[in-house]
Chain A
């Protein structure tokens, strides 16, 4: 049983099936074989024959891995259309990230503006609050977008390759899409200023931009750590 289960475990991890899912499946299959062996032994088979028959009835490791990945792969749209989702999902998620960021910043900026205008906060603190929150909110929105993308991939086909390409594209978009957000401190002027930074000068990514680039990749490394470690061991 050890070899079949080990083969299956290796196969599933290689294909990018989440470690928790792999452990659960292997545990259930081992229990299944143990139950089948007991049944077959009670029917008069020798322990060795019962073990052989139980494994035979369970199915080959390759067929089972195929069936597990096939079942997962059909579950979600990215699983059924990996190529299309590779291009469309990161773009869509990046768009949602920007919209979420603007909404969150607007709400926070309006509160800060109110505090500044009422005299509770001085201009320097108001400016630094806006600047820090703009970065932090963009980073959070990017992390949420990446987490959603990874969740979709894990729920779907779990393919490590497609998830890697997809998250890589999202990282790149996060690095490229750098915008300036600001809220006027003047009373009555609550217009949200939004525009690309660096224009007309060439865009030079700063520390925060690289952090935004790194966040999706780090999240992926954390979530797929068992699969990545397995790949590294094999190579």
Chain B
């Protein structure tokens, strides 16, 4: 589960995890396990990845200023919640546009229409 940031030759699907995390965090702030569960639910369990690999992506996104974190105590447990920054919202917009373009292109190529 690698983020596409700062890659010299980003792979075709590299933006997927980033896009999904940004989309989920745009709805509400979440902690790591909640994000993983939401990805499974939102994609109908279509994506399979080692769940622990979400954290380096989140940390990388944080260093890039796309997300912020805040520690909160919920039901006696301290959790690190992630939320979207303004930069993250802008990134979500640009990635969504990019993804629409790519997916409609692939659909067209496969004969499924845009």
Contacts and interface: CB of A to CB of B under 8 A. Distances in A.
A67 interface: yes
Nearest to A70: B2
Q: Helix, strand, loop or mixed for chain A's interface?
A: helix
Contacts of B55: 25, 28-29, 32, 68
Interface in B15-44: 31-33, 36-37
Interface string A77-105: 00010000000000000000000000000
A60 B50 contact: yes
Given A67-B1, A74-B2, A75-B6, A29 B59 contact: no
Interface string B43-73: 0000000111101110110010000000000
A75 B80 CA distance: 22
A223 B36 CA distance: 33
The winner among B33, B59, B63, B80 for most chain A CB atoms within 10 A is B33
A71 interface: yes
B79 interface: yes
Contact of B51 (A21, A59, A72, A80): A59
A28 B53 contact: no
Contacts, number: 73
The winner among A36, A39, A67, A155 for most chain B CB atoms within 10 A is A67
A71 B32 contact: no
Contacts of A75: 5-6, 60, 63
B13 interface: no
A58 B52 contact: yes
B52 A74 contact: no
A63 interface: yes
Contacts of B57: 71
Contact of A58 (B6, B51, B56, B59): B51
A60 B36 CA distance: 17
The winner among A28, A60, A80 for most chain B CB atoms within 10 A is A28
A208 interface: no
A52 interface: no
A71 B52 contact: no
A35 interface: yes
A15 to B, nearest CB: 13
A67 B50 contact: yes
Given A36-B51, A155-B63, A68 B32 contact: no
Interface string A159-175: 00000000000000000
Contacts of B6: 74-76, 80
A67 B33 contact: no
Given A31-B77, A31-B79, A67-B53, 14 more contacts: A21-B59, A29-B52, A29-B55, A58-B52, A59-B53, A64-B50, A68-B59, A71-B2, A71-B3, A71-B59, A72-B56, A74-B5, A75-B6, A76-B6
27 contacts: A24-B59, A28-B55, A29-B55, A31-B77, A31-B79, A32-B32, A32-B36, A36-B51, A39-B37, A57-B51, A58-B50, A58-B52, A59-B50, A59-B51, A59-B53, A67-B1, A68-B56, A68-B59, A70-B2, A70-B56, A71-B3, A71-B56, A74-B5, A74-B6, A75-B6, A80-B8, A155-B63
